[in-house]
Each structure stands twice: as structure tokens, then as C-alpha cells.
């Protein structure tokens, strides 16, 4: 289990992380999602040991990675977003070089490298020079490089950025395969839909703090719940309004171009009951649509609208 406890990091007077706490269960494929400047890269650099926190702890299976540098190096496999300046090396030579930094040499290193290149689907590229690789191939090689010492935790910053749909699909397959092989994976992204496709768990970060963390289902449920239900009725508008007003799950209600816009705190079953209530009272409902969730709408909910009570349109 990876535990971040009250992590703080400032750049000069700018606070990038402020008491960030987070628990990532063993075997999770965890996506850290947030807008530009939220603190994702900073958190990832701290966990991978590239930078030290000003305060706070990073524990992996109760070992303090901030204090125990050697354990940190063994535990974490950091996948950089670029290969570095090694253009005159072949893929195989590049892997041999990184194997040697972990004390792996000779036959054992060569065997390990062959297995890893096979795992990331790059056996046929082993004699390619690095500058001959596509972005997707470079990304896979970075993953292979990070796996050289068989770490329990793999960390990647924005791994899908700049990849075409096919390369993204291959990356997803690779990460899910690593994850089902027992590795805990942490990746960052600013695109919620991208992360929700790949990950088992999500944490949303903003302003250097975790706003919410949980399984993909839990988070998407909450994100979706932040969007209004659009309801169009063909008759009995006044009855519809009374029913909506009296429903305890309705948080905000307004009318927009003939649609009732209903901000609703209930879950799917509550939505179904609301629809049933309208129909039972002879209201003809022609549309009843919950917009798909977006990270933006969720931010609005948690930052601006949490105390808002029901607002009724002037038209009624």
C-alpha cells in the first residue's frame, strides 16, 4: 500500500502541494487527475524520489521512502516522459545501460532485457537507434526501462500525452497487464475520460490537495451526479414543477428553453423514481437526460455550489 501523509512542497514562495494525503491500495491502477498546475508532476516527482518533500511522509508497505533511499530505489520504477539524450544508442544498448545502473550485467541482464522487450512488444526493435522510434515505441521502451529492477510500484507522468489512439490502446493493454501481474501503477493525467478507461481507482487533485479519491465507479457516479438532468414535459408543467419542488433529492431547479434543469443529488434508482413519479401524475415526459459527467462540472460542484439551495426560475 502506498501512503502519502501530509505532503508539502513549495517552490520558493509558491505552494505546490499543501498537506496532500492519499492512500493507494496494493495492486491498484491509480490515476491522479487534475487540471494544469494542480500539483500532479510535483507529487509524482516526490514519490519517485526525484525531489524531496518539505514535510510529510511517503510510505510503501510501511517503509518510509523519503528516509530510506535504497528501499525507494528498489520499490519504485519511474517512467520518464522522454528517453533522454541517448540518440546514438540502440534499444538494446539503452536497456543494457540502465540495467547496469541497478547492478545487472552479463547474461542475467541480457535475459532480463529480452523478456522485458518481449513484454512491451519491442523485440523486433532491439537494434533500432532511439531516434528511429515513434513516440509510442519510446513510451514502451521507457516502461521497459522502469521495469528493469522488478519494482513493486510503477509511476508515470502523463503517459498517454502525444500518443495516437493505437499507441494509447497498446499502452492501456500494457499497464493493465502489468497491473494484473501484481504491480501497483500510479499515473497522472488531466483528462478524466482517459484515466477512467485505464484505471481501477482515481484521485482528483486541485490546488495541491486531493479533493476526492476512490474507485472509478464511485468517482464517476459523483462526477455524473454533478450534472443536471434535463427534463422536457409535454403537458401539466405546473404538476411537474410541484413534483420536482417536493423531491428531497432536487438541489437546484431552473428552466432553460422549455427544459427543466434539475441538479439532483440522488443515484440512478432515485432518478428512476423521479421519472416514475412524474409519469404517475399524468405528466408526459418526452426527454429525461443526465448529461455525461465531466471533470469541470465536478470542480464546479465541489468548489462553488456546495451550499447552494434550490433556485427556482422567474417564470414560475
- Return the residue of 13, 36, 165, 269 that touches ligand ATP, per CB under 6 A: 36
User: What are 189's three cell numbers?
Assistant: 493525467
* 138 is a site residue for ligand ATP (CB under 6 A): no
Shortest Cβ distance from residue 277 to ligand ATP (Å)? 43
Helix (H, G, I), strand (E, B) or coil at 277: helix
Give the residue from 309, 240, 310 showing the smallest Cα distance to 275: 240
Stretch that binds ligand ATP, among 40-48, 67-75, 178-186, 232-240 (CB under 6 A): 40-48
First to last CA, the chain: 54
Task: With beta carbons less than 8 A apart as the criterion, state whether 316 and 242 touch.
Answer: no
Stretch that binds ligand ATP, among 10-18, 72-80, 246-254, 303-311 (CB under 6 A): 10-18
Q: Name which of 46 and 261 has its Cβ closer to ligand ATP.
A: 46
Q: Name which of 6 and 235 has its Cβ closer to ligand ATP.
A: 6
* 82 is a site residue for ligand ATP (CB under 6 A): no
- Return the residue of 16, 148, 216, 226 that touches ligand ATP, per CB under 6 A: 16
Q: How far apart are CA 96 and CA 17, in angstroms?
A: 36
Task: With beta carbons less than 8 A apart as the criterion, state whether 195 and 31 touch.
Answer: yes
Per-residue interface string for the shown chain with ligand ATP, residues 145-184, x marking contact by CB under 6 A: ----------------------------------------
User: What are 96's three cell numbers?
Assistant: 543494457
* 107 is a site residue for ligand ATP (CB under 6 A): no
Stretch that binds ligand ATP, among 34-42, 90-98, 170-178, 239-247 (CB under 6 A): 34-42
* 40 is a site residue for ligand ATP (CB under 6 A): yes
Strand order in the sheet with 209-215: 76-79, 153-156, 184-189, 29-33, 201-206, 209-215
HSE on the CB side for 147, CA within 13 Å?
Answer: 25
* 39 is a site residue for ligand ATP (CB under 6 A): yes
Burial of 90 (0-12, 13-18, 19+ CB in 10 A): middle
Shortest Cβ distance from residue 200 to ligand ATP (Å)? 21
* 38 is a site residue for ligand ATP (CB under 6 A): yes
Handedness of CA 59, 60, 64, 69 (dihedral sign): negative
Total residues contacting ligand ATP (rule CB under 6 A)? Answer: 12
Stretch that binds ligand ATP, among 9-17, 93-101, 113-121, 229-237 (CB under 6 A): 9-17
Give the residue from 26, 46, 1 showing the smallest Cα distance to 208: 46
* 37 is a site residue for ligand ATP (CB under 6 A): yes
Q: Name which of 41 and 227 has its Cβ closer to ligand ATP.
A: 41
* 190 is a site residue for ligand ATP (CB under 6 A): yes
Task: With beta carbons less than 8 A apart as the criterion, state whether 124 and 140 touch.
Answer: no
Task: With beta carbons less than 8 A apart as the criterion, state whether 225 and 291 touch.
Answer: no
- Return the residue of 20, 28, 41, 120 that touches ligand ATP, per CB under 6 A: 41
Shortest Cβ distance from residue 78 to ligand ATP (Å)? 15
Shortest Cβ distance from residue 313 to ligand ATP (Å)? 38
252 - beta bridge partners? 263
User: What are 39's three cell numbers?
Assistant: 500539483
User: What are 41's three cell numbers?
Assistant: 508532476
- Residues engaged in binding ligand ATP (CB under 6 A): 11, 14, 16, 34, 36-42, 190
Amino acid at each position: 500500500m502506498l501512503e502519502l501523509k501530509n505532503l508539502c512542497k513549495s517552490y520558493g514562495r509558491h505552494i505546490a502541494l499543501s498537506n496532500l494525503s492519499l492512500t493507494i491500495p496494493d495492486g491498484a491502477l491509480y490515476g491522479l487527475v487534475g487540471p494544469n498546475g494542480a500539483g500532479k508532476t510535483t507529487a509524482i516527482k516526490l514519490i519517485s524520489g526525484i525531489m524531496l518533500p518539505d514535510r510529510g511522509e511517503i510510505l510503501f508497505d510501511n517503509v518510509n521512502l523519503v528516509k530510506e533511499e535504497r528501499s525507494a530505489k528498489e520499490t519504485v520504477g519511474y517512467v520518464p516522459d522522454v528517453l533522454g539524450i541517448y540518440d546514438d544508442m540502440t534499444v538494446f544498448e539503452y536497456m543494457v545501460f540502465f540495467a547496469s545502473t541497478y547492478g545487472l550485467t552479463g547474461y542475467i541482464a541480457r535475459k532480463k532485457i529480452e523478456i522485458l522487450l518481449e513484454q512491451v512488444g519491442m523485440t523486433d526493435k532491439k537494434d533500432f537507434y532511439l531516434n528511429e522510434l515513434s513516440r509510442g515505441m519510446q513510451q514502451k521502451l521507457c516502461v521497459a526501462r522502469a521495469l528493469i529492477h522488478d519494482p513493486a510500484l510503477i509511476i508515470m507522468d502523463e503517459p498517454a500525452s502525444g500518443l495516437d489512439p493505437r499507441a494509447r490502446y497498446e499502452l492501456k493493454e500494457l499497464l493493465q497487464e502489468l497491473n494484473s501481474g501484481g504491480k501497483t501503477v500510479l499515473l497522472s493525467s488531466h483528462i478524466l475520460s482517459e484515466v477512467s478507461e485505464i484505471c481501477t481507482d482515481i484521485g482528483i487533485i486541485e490546488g495541491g490537495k486531493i479533493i476526492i479519491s476512490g474507485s472509478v465507479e464511485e468517482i464517476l457516479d459523483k462526477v455524473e451526479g454533478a450534472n443536471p438532468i434535463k427534463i422536457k414535459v409535454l403537458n401539466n408543467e405546473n404538476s411537474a414543477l410541484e413534483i420536482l419542488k417536493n423531491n428531497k433529492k432536487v438541489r437546484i431547479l431552473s428552466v432553460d428553453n422549455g427544459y427543466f434543469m434539475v441538479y439532483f443529488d440522488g443515484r440512478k434508482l432515485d432518478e428512476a423514481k423521479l421519472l416514475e413519479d412524474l409519469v404517475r401524475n399524468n405528466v408526459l415526459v418526452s426527454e429525461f437526460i443526465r448529461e455525461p459527467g465531466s471533470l469541470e462540472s465536478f470542480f464546479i460542484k465541489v468548489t462553488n455550489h456546495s451550499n447552494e439551495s434550490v433556485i427556482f426560475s422567474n417564470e414560475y
